[in-house]
Chains A and B, each alone.
Chain A
């Protein structure tokens, strides 16, 4: 049996009702693992922000999560428009979310900053017109 467990989720585009399903599933698995609540919270928030980003900006995508005794590793991959200026996107409060999204209470410009805040390592690879891949790691031990 392999040492780690890999979980795969599809995030569908513009479906706010389903956003959060993946992070919720990971959350319950971490609870079953007996992971420290504070760490579960970090993973849940970081991943949920990522999920919402995929719904708002990238017409959905795929999330792969690897659970090991040492860390939670998340790879969020989309085929969206890409991020033209990562530094700007990382600024708290900066948002390109359309009004429709903001009227739902999203798009406050805290997505990426929160993802960075709650993960121990975060990396963004983006190419305009091709897509974005965000990897995040939260250490368990």
Chain B
């Protein structure tokens, strides 16, 4: 698998070549060339900002179709905690879980259940590895990816514990094998995801070699049918008792939930990719000290703000808070042998994708050229050239993928000069 796999794609016929996405992309991974957006996948961190902003809906996320359920003899749904924030007046998560079984899944396994185990594992880990503080959460794949390409100095602070969904997948498969007697590969573990970043994380995990998740479907795809199934379940009073999590697990769906589960108040929780970058910059410069834990989520509001969700993230967050009100603190606890392979088994390495050249001297020469070009460009960052800023265009020119005259202001000057020359001939 390509190590720079990303789940964001362009549907070319819908792209009008407007510059909304290039302006919004936090890693400047997008350019408009020949009237169409082009994504450099090495720079893309799967945050989904371009999907959100595109007025023509030309940006898509790849994930699995609902028909993936037919590929397996037995399927288990892994609902993300963010799913519960999508519904009005939900009082019992068992309604959602029962409806998922009616939807076509043979069983359900709450990601929030595994989240409670991750919280407990994290608490122990933090206690044992105090000297490496602060730890940075690794639950958001976009954040891990961002750190991998842009904040090499912070890699050592990543909390090397699998995300709840991956732990949930392993536990769900184990349970299904035991209950059905089927071979593991005939069991499909399907994540119901709020975001496309998880698709990439499944195909190409960072920190461990293989994900136990077999498929990723979008919350927004199952939402309409799920709503009517939930109504049916409630009316007929067919609610099964399937929930396995409490407050701590459910809270992971919104910002601060993971940190809250660590039972410390010495933490920072930031969400929204621009804010996340600012925190990482400060952390890199050692401006933030004496914290135990840093929770970062690429989406506003946390996972409830994912691009594959339906509800407004802030409304969804309130719904989660209401839902968990009468729940026990946690329903899942570690009891010895039950959880295996929860720790990362592969190092996450720095990928210097923004490097200009392999050779230091050449990079310096190129940087000097960039500075020189920046002086020449108007500094309007108008985006007409297809690059988000004048500096980005300068870098593209130096990298050899754009020309100076892609800048319409430079081009205009050039045409003026040319017409002056021609008029001289006329006289």
Mark A residues whose CB is within 8 Å of B: 1-5, 7, 20, 23-24, 27-29, 31-35, 37-38, 40-41, 44-45, 48, 67-69, 140-141
Contacts and interface: CB of A to CB of B under 8 A. Distances in A.
Contacts of A48: 285, 287
Contact of A5 (B152, B285, B286, B371): B371
A2 B357 CA distance: 17
A68 to B, nearest CB: 7
Contacts of A141: 360
A96 to B, nearest CB: 21
A29 B352 contact: no
Contacts of B368: 1-2, 5
Contacts of A69: 360-361, 364
Contacts of B352: 31, 34
B363 A33 contact: yes
A2 B364 CA distance: 10
B397 to A, nearest CB: 14
A10 B367 CA distance: 20
Interface of B: 150, 152-153, 281, 284-287, 350, 352, 354-358, 360-361, 363-365, 367-369, 371, 395
18 contacts: A3-B361, A4-B364, A5-B364, A20-B287, A24-B281, A29-B367, A31-B150, A32-B354, A32-B363, A32-B395, A33-B356, A33-B363, A33-B364, A34-B355, A67-B364, A69-B360, A69-B361, A140-B360
Contacts of B150: 31
Contact of A37 (B281, B350, B364): B350
Contacts of B361: 3, 69
A141 B359 CA distance: 13
A48 to B, nearest CB: 5
B231 to A, nearest CB: 52
The dominant DSSP class at the B interface is: helix
Contacts of A31: 150, 352, 354-355
Contacts of B350: 37
Contact of B371 (A3, A7, A34, A41): A7
Given A2-B368, A34-B357, A41 B153 contact: yes
A41 B354 CA distance: 17
Contacts of A44: 284-285
Contacts of B395: 32
Contacts, number: 67
Contacts of B360: 33-35, 69, 140-141
A102 B358 CA distance: 43
- With most chain A CB atoms within 10 A of its CB, the pick from B358, B361, B364, B365 is B364
B391 to A, nearest CB: 10
Contacts of A140: 360
A93 to B, nearest CB: 14
Contacts of B364: 3-5, 33, 67-69
A33 B367 contact: yes
Of A33, A67, A140, A141, the most chain B CB neighbours within 10 A belong to: A33
Nearest to A7: B371
Given A1-B368, A34-B356, 8 more contacts: A3-B364, A24-B285, A28-B354, A31-B354, A33-B355, A45-B285, A68-B364, A140-B360
Nearest to B288: A105
Nearest to A118: B286
A137 B168 CA distance: 50
A65 B234 CA distance: 68
Given A37-B350, A69-B364, A32 B285 contact: no
Contacts of B369: 1
A1 B371 CA distance: 13
Nearest to A4: B364
B246 to A, nearest CB: 37
A27 to B, nearest CB: 7
Nearest to A45: B286
A32 B153 contact: no
A37 B363 contact: no
A101 to B, nearest CB: 15
Contacts of A35: 360
B356 A32 contact: yes
Nearest to B357: A34
A32 B365 CA distance: 12
Given A20-B285, A34-B360, A1 B365 contact: yes
Contact of B358 (A2, A24, A34): A34
A1 B287 CA distance: 37
Contacts of B358: 34
A40 B150 CA distance: 12
Contacts of A7: 371
Contacts of A32: 354-356, 363, 367, 395
A141 B361 CA distance: 12
Nearest to A24: B281
Contacts of B363: 32-34
A85 B421 CA distance: 65
